[in-house]
Amino acid sequence: MSGTRRRPASHAIGCSPCCATAPLVGGCLWLLLQTLATPWELDTDRAILFFEDTHAPPYYVDGQLTQLRHAGKLEKIAGVVVGDMNKCDYGDLPREVADWRATKSIEDVLDKHLQPLGVPVLYKLPLGHGKHIASIPLGVRYTLDADARTLTVDESPFES
């Protein structure tokens, strides 16, 4: 597909600044949207936002990130970690898409929304609905280093 970019697994973008230390919040992108305007709405102020999803084509993700931006959830974030976007690109989907919806890759959509934020961003961590179905503790402090391409937990998720 012309005009789309493919990146190696686990890469960093938007390194200004290159590091952020903050609590990690987030989860499945579709489910995060379901909390908006409820008592369980996600608080992203001064937090590192983590999201992942499955079977969400790029135009869905574009709409979901637009909704988060309009809800003010991207205004004061410290950084972004994108987990596994499992089967979220057109080549991954079981149907043929040959119209306008297939003009942008998932990376194009993520770049469009995340680069302008001016925070460190790390893509393609193997977390979420993907091959490994890995999970990550939320609500504890992490350091996101986009230059080193690392996300390090700074405190135990378990009470001592």
> Is residue 155 one of the residues assigned to a domain?
no
Predicted TM-score (pTM) of the model is 0.85
Which range marks the domain in which residue 32 is found?
14-144
In the chain, what percentage of residues exceed pLDDT 90?
51
- Average pLDDT of the chain, as a whole number: 83
- Give the residue with greater pLDDT, 147 vs 30: 30
C-alpha 63 chain-centroid distance: 14
CB 62 within 8 A of CB 104: yes
**Is there a domain that residue 156 lies in?**
no
Query: Cα-flanking dihedrals φ and ψ of residue 96, to 5°?
Result: -90, 130
Residue 41 has pLDDT above 70, yes or no: yes
Region at 10 (left for phi over 0; alpha for psi -120 to 50; beta for the rest): left
Over residues 91-109, mean pLDDT = 66
Find tokens 């996101």 and name the residue: 144
Q: Give the pLDDT score at 17.
A: 65
| Domain containing residue 39: CATH number | 3.50.30.60
- Count: domains in the chain: 1
In a domain, 153, yes or no: no
